């Protein structure tokens, strides 16, 4: 089943995408995969911590930009990732990690640009995607980042006020949600196929 969740530009509008993420994280049993342009939402971070503490087998895999392009976003993202790492202890040696944060890299030959260069350059690939997969049962693709602007722009952290002012309206975002075999519906492999295609790219 595919459903469209939208957050309209209303001062007190609904927060369907935010709520969908929180429900999916809370219901996760095996893994949570998050691929996003920004990760600065404390409520999403808190939800991940709570879920991982409650379910020792749960793994969280994140693909993020190493250097987000918004003011203070790199600092806020690093701070949030560090907080999650400290809150969720790593498993004993020899067991697979429970929380992993990755970025995409490529390399290019620089000889055409710099003839004297001897080594290829390592370049980060900027992510613009907003995708999540949970347990091969739930997935979302859309325009909502995992930050305060996309999920709930009526809540603005004080650190962003000097840059963006006292914005009160929510941003307009739309995400497609995919469910696999929930509420008695016939199970399909749509979410699993999405995950496999994504992971094959990376």
Query: What would the pLDDT profile of 78-91 be if each residue is shown by its tens digit?
Result: 999 999 999 998 78
CA angle 34, 38, 39 (to 5 degrees): 65
Helix axes 73-87, 42-54, angle to 10 degrees: 20
**Residues in Cβ contact with 24 at an 8 Å cutoff, skipping those fewer than 6 apart:** 32, 132, 134, 138, 140
Count how many domains the chain has: 1
Look up the domain containing 166 and give its range: 2-201
CATH code: domain of residue 136: 3.30.870.10
Query: What would the pLDDT profile of 62-117 be if each residue is shown by its tens digit?
Result: 999 888 888 788 899 999 999 999 999 878 888 888 999 988 776 665 555 556 66
Residue 32 and residue 51 in contact, taking contact as beta carbons nearer than 8 Å = yes
Q: What is the pLDDT of residue 158?
A: 45
């Amino acid at each position: 089943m595919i459903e469209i969740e939208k957050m309209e530009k209303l001062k007190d509008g609904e927060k369907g995408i935010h709520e969908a993420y929180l429900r999916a994280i809370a219901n996760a049993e095996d893994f949570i995969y998050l691929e996003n342009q920004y990760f600065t939402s404390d409520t999403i971070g808190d939800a991940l911590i709570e879920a991982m503490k409650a379910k020792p087998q749960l793994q969280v895999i994140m693909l993020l930009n190493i250097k987000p392009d918004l003011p203070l976003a790199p600092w806020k993202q690093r701070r949030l990732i560090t907080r999650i790492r400290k809150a969720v202890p790593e498993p004993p040696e020899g067991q697979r990690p429970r929380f992993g944060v990755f970025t995409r890299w490529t390399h290019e030959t620089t000889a055409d640009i710099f003839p004297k260069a001897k080594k290829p350059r390592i370049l980060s690939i900027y992510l613009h995607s907003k995708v999540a997969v949970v347990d091969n049962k739930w997935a979302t693709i859309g325009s909502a980042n995992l930050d305060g602007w996309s999920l709930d722009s009526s809540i603005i952290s004080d650190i962003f006020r000097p840059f963006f002012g006292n914005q009160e309206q929510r941003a307009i975002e739309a995400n497609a949600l995919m469910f696999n075999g929930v509420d008695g519906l016939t199970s399909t492999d749509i979410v699993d196929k999405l995950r496999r295609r994504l992971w094959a790219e990376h």
